[in-house]
Each structure stands twice: as structure tokens, then as C-alpha cells.
Amino acid sequence: MKAIVIDEFVSNLAHLKVKETPLPQPQGSRNVSIQITHAAVTHVDMLYAQGLHQNNRRHVQPPFILGTEYAGIVTASPPASAFPPGTRVFGGGLGSFAEHICVDEVGIRKVPDPWSNAEACAVGSSGAVSWGALMEVARLKRGETVCVLGASGGLGVMAVQIAKGVGARVVAVVGGREKEEVVRGVGADEVVDYRVEGWEDRVRGFGEGGEGVDVVYDGIGAVESSLKCLRYRGRVVIVGFAARGGKMENVRANRILLKSAMVHGYRFGEDGRHDPQRTQDVWNGFMKLVEAGTIKPVIYKEEYRGLEAVPRALDSLKTHKAWGRAILRINEEEKEATQKAKL
């Protein structure tokens, strides 16, 4: 099959190449084989390709197939599996920039009926990550005000919708007019542009009495800015570092003390390894919003056909053009021919 294989980390994303590689084989009794129809192109992929992600120190070392989110069609599964051949599924797991993937069935879910495979892929695990961060960790409540940093990104558009879905007021922080429209389209009440100096003061002004917001969802790695936006005894949940290019911020601890703030990290994958039940609860909580029709997948407008488009899609992320999820279409010609599924 074809795949983007990382034999060694690259310093230039344009150097990523499609290669022939053996078809993945089932490794355990719960393994499901999937023909991939779509893969999301994410910030994590950009870091993985360059060896800049914290997981590259241990878990994710060359050689590996790039890509972490996918949707597809089951081609083979164990006899009693909940996912018989032909089932449309989506999931997260290393190796999605490929034509096929084999995964443990605990890592996949059926594509909800109203969604196409592309839409399910755009939501991927971002919805569950954002649900876990806001609801399990930050304990966001109806009527509170939450600021979402990185609101136009794949995780961010989910965070905005989840917060609205539970009755919170949302201040979305983005870079530019096009992204402002995107976040307003998914329900943001207020939008602040981070490229305007003093943006933290504007965010703080949207909190009750102009005293700061109750919760900051930080997907970009800006804890000191988050603390400026926060009210006394507010909560910050750190989800990602999209603005840091792999270099971490040194946070002055007195800033946390001065506001009696709670600063809490949330690492979805690792949390699931430590506490699978909590991650199951997180998925269940998020899927209730999906079933209620509250969640709208957000697919970036540019088209990326075939694995050859991976460097171009990653470049759209790197240059801040993309919003929502950039989606790669794989194997689509064959699927159009069989017309088996809603893609």
C-alpha cells in the first residue's frame, strides 16, 4: 500500500514522500482492518514529522507511518466484533496517512448516521479531548464565561461548541477575519483577535463585572496570557501548545498565586491509558451532544486529494491558513465506484 513513512524526522515538510510499504496485519484478537477514506491533517502530525512532539522522545520514533486521525470502512474484523466488514468507522491512532490501517477495536467508533466519513474524520478525537478538558477537568458550568485560545483550530471549534452546548458564554480568540466568521458560525458569543496588542484585557473585560473569565481553555501554550484573562479563583486547562513551535513557556509561579488560580493539564491519550473508564465517560458525554445535533463538523475549504497532498495540507497549517480540520481524501476513486458508503 501507499503511505507517508517517516524513516527519519524531516526539517522541511515539503520533503515528505509517499512510499510503498507492506499492508498492515492484525496484531491481536481484537484487531480490525480498515480501508482509510479520509485522514485529518493536524498540528500533532506537523510536530511528529519533525520530531518536535513530546511523544517523539519515547513513544513515536522512526520508522513510523505519519497521521493520527482517520475515517474509513472496515474490511476485516474478528467474528464477534461490533464492527463487521462494511461498517463506517472513525478513530485516532498512529498511521493514518496510508491506504489501510489495523487497530484495536477499542480505538474506533461507528460514524454517526447523519455524518459523512469526512465529517466524522474532522471531529475525530478532538471532540472528546475538548469535552474532557472543559467538563471533566475545568468543570465548566452553565452560565459561566469561558475563553477558548486556539478557537479556530480543530480542537478549538469543538471546545466552542461544547461550551455553548452546556450553556456557557464563549469568548473565542483567533487570528483574522476569516477565522472570526468560522467561530461565530459555531456559536462564539465574542471574538478577540490575538494579533491586536492587549487582547488579554479585552478578554478579561467580557468576564462578569469586567473582572475576568471563569475558565480559559488553552490550546496554544499561553499560560501567562491565560492568567491575565482569568478572574480571581478562575481555572485554566492546558490542552496544547500550538503557538510554541515545540519551545515551552516558562511560567512565573507567582502569577498563579496572585489569582489563587487553578492550572490543570489534560493529556487525553495518556489519561486513557491511566484511567480507561474516565475516557469512556468523556466519549459518552461528548457523544450525547453529537446525538442531540449540537456538534457541527468544521472542514477547511481547501481540497486535499491523495497522500501526495500531505505536504501542501501541512503547509496550510504551518502558515495559519487552515481553520477547523484540513481533510485528506484517500482511496476515494475506489469508494465512488463501489458506492457502498456515505463518504
Ligand X SMILES: NC(=O)c1ccc[n+]([C@@H]2O[C@H](COP(=O)([O-])OP(=O)(O)OC[C@H]3O[C@@H](n4cnc5c(N)ncnc54)[C@H](OP(=O)(O)O)[C@@H]3O)[C@@H](O)[C@H]2O)c1
In the complex, minimum distance from the CB of residue 159 to ligand X, in angstroms, rounded to a whole number: 9
Residue number with CB closer to ligand X (198 or 209):
198
Comparison of 94 and 220: residue with beta carbon closer to ligand X: 220
CB of 227 to ligand X, least distance (A): 16
Q: Cβ of residue 26: shortest distance to ligand X, in angstroms?
A: 26
Q: Indicate the residue among 74 and 326 with the shorter CB distance to ligand X.
A: 326
Distance CA 99, CA 6 (A): 15
Q: Which is nearer to ligand X, 68 or 117 (CB)?
A: 68
**Sequence-separated (6 or more) residues with CB below 8 Å from residue 329:** 37, 38, 118, 303, 304, 305, 306
CB of 299 to ligand X, least distance (A): 12
Taking the C-alpha atoms of residue 225 and residue 218, their distance in angstroms, rounded to an integer, is 10
Peptide bond into 63 cis (omega under 30): yes
Q: How far apart, in Å, do the first and last CA atoms of the chain sit?
A: 21
- Angle CA(326)–CA(124)–CA(319) in degrees, nearest 5? 25
Question: Cβ closer to ligand X: 234 or 324?
Answer: 324
User: 143 in helix, strand or coil?
Assistant: coil
Q: How far apart (Å, rounded) are the C-alpha atoms in residues 51 and 67?
A: 13
In the complex, minimum distance from the CB of residue 144 to ligand X, in angstroms, rounded to a whole number: 21
The three cell numbers locating residue 180: 472570526
**Kind of pairing, strands 326-329 and 304-305?**
parallel
User: Which CB, 174 or 307, lies closer to ligand X?
Assistant: 174
Q: How far is the CB of 199 from ligand X (least distance, A)?
A: 9
Q: Which residue ranges make up the site for ligand X (CB under 6 A)?
A: 42-44, 129, 150, 152-156, 174-176, 179, 194, 219-220, 239-243, 266-269, 317, 320
